[in-house]
Structure 1
């Protein structure tokens, strides 16, 4: 089981909201209304770890190890929402999300292949790490800069944990499951490493997850300002092609190691994916 080791390693570096955040360094002159509002939107978005956890537990009922790890992931992700809410409570109380605003992002996600979802969230954690690092650079107020740096480190650790479960899927579940895992990881990898080609940000909170609610079936569509994410990325934190390239490079680097291949570009990964498809297709 991976859960006991992951619990121990994450417990060792867990930060304390009361003592590890430099609350006394707050400088109100360095926080604009525009910046404060984006904190509210991120606080609500992070609250969506709740329905994501419900999805993971439902779709991984045959995997108690991974389901147990969800207790760690869920705690730390909800803590991200909580620390952003606490920041607003202290310094911009008029922007604290209401319970209704938070609850709105809790809706049911359609079932999906567990290995594809695992890969999707692995890529999502990598992207969040880079988004929050860029947000920390964009903000000018010291406390929120420290908060974004702190949660960015958490997201990187979460990506590492998901990677451990991806490695386990390749190594411990037999040839058939291993082949399915390679297919799932390469398929989602091509999608998530190609964000520069898509009109919207590729992250689990911005993807459609409930056919019956379409098109209002993304986490972002449930926010008070549904279009805020693109504005935040493009016009505020300026998450440009160079930063998106860093995300793509990290995904390709990790998949190269995971799949024992060399993926310098998305095209390389897509060729690998197509070769797997040919291997599994019945001869005509």
Structure 2
């Protein structure tokens, strides 16, 4: 089981809402209305860990180890929402999300292949680590810079934990897992080319609710994410290249190959076409 070791390592790295956030350093002159509004949107987006956890637990009844890890992931992701809301409560109470706004992002996700979903969330954590790192650089208010730095570090550790479960899946399912991970790696590493970097919160996940079946579509401002990335934190092509390099480097180590480009990874994916699908479908999981 991976859960006991992951619990101990993440427990050692855990930060305190009271002791590790320098609340007394708040500088009201360094917080604009525009910046404060992004805090609200990020808080609501982080709250969507709730339906994601419900999905993971529903689709992983066969795997108590991974399900137990969800207790850590859910706790830390909800703490991200909480620290952002606490920031607003202290310094911009007019922007604290309402319970209705939070509840709007709690909706059911359709089932999807387990191994692909695992890879999707791994890639999503890599991307989110960089988004929040960039947000910490963009913000000028010192407390908020520290908060986004703490959250970014958490997301990086979560990506590492998902990678451990991907390695375990290869041991159990062999080429079926390799094929699923390569497929999602190509998708997630290529998404920037279309001008829309993919992340679990902007993917369609409930056919019945389409088009309001992404987390972002259910925010008070559905167009916020694109503006945040492009016009505010300026997550440009250079930033995206760093995300892709991290994905390729991680998948190279995981799969025992060298992927310098997405094209290399795609060639590898094609070489695994026809790998035993039954193992991949044995454990349904969703994005």
Same fold (TM over 0.5): yes
3-state SS, counterpart of residue 273 of structure 2: helix
3-state SS, counterpart of residue 183 of structure 2: helix
Moved over 3 A (4+): 278-281
Name which structure has the greater RCO, CA cutoff 8 Å, separation 6+.
2
TM-score (norm 2): 0.95
- 2:50 matched residue in structure 1: 50
C-alpha distance after superposition, 1:176-226 (max 9, x if no partner): x21111111000000111122123231000000001111110000000000
Q: In structure 2, how many angstroms separate the alpha carbons of the residues matched to 1:162 and 1:154?
A: 12
Higher mean displacement: 222-231 or 197-206 = 197-206
- 1:181 matched residue in structure 2: 177
- 2:271 matched residue in structure 1: 275
Q: In structure 1, how many angstroms separate the alpha carbons of the residues matched to 2:218 and 2:275?
A: 41
Q: Are 1:195 and 1:244, in contact at CA under 8 Å, matched by a contact in 2?
A: no
Q: Are 1:201 and 1:230, in contact at CA under 8 Å, matched by a contact in 2?
A: no
TM-score (norm 1): 0.96
Q: In structure 2, how many angstroms separate the alpha carbons of the residues matched to 1:75 and 1:183?
A: 31
Offset of residue 106 of structure 1: 0.2
Cα RMSD of the aligned pairs, angstroms, is 1.0
Q: Are 2:25 and 2:142, in contact at CA under 8 Å, matched by a contact in 1?
A: yes
1:72 paired to 2:47 = no
For structure 1, which runs of at least 5 residues remain unmatched after alignment?
none
Q: In structure 1, how many angstroms separate the alpha carbons of the residues matched to 2:197 and 2:222?
A: 13
1:5 paired to 2:1 = no
3-state SS, counterpart of residue 277 of structure 1: coil
C-alpha distance after superposition, 1:54-106 (max 9, x if no partner): 11111111000000000000000000000000000000000000000000000
C-alpha distance after superposition, 1:84-142 (max 9, x if no partner): 00000000000000000000000000001111111000000000100000000000000
- 1:17 matched residue in structure 2: 17
Offset of residue 279 of structure 1: 5.8
Q: In structure 1, how many angstroms separate the alpha carbons of the residues matched to 2:57 and 2:116?
A: 15
- 2:241 matched residue in structure 1: 245
Offset of residue 278 of structure 1: 5.4
1:204 paired to 2:196 = no
Higher mean displacement: 157-166 or 188-197 = 188-197
- 2:280 matched residue in structure 1: none
Q: Are 2:49 and 2:78, in contact at CA under 8 Å, matched by a contact in 1?
A: yes
1:260 paired to 2:250 = no
For structure 2, which runs of at least 5 residues remain unmatched after alignment?
278-287
The 1:110–1:262 alpha-carbon spacing in structure 2 relative to 1, beyond 3 Å, is same
- 1:37 matched residue in structure 2: 37
Q: In structure 2, how many angstroms separate the alpha carbons of the residues matched to 1:193 and 1:250?
A: 10
1:61 paired to 2:33 = no
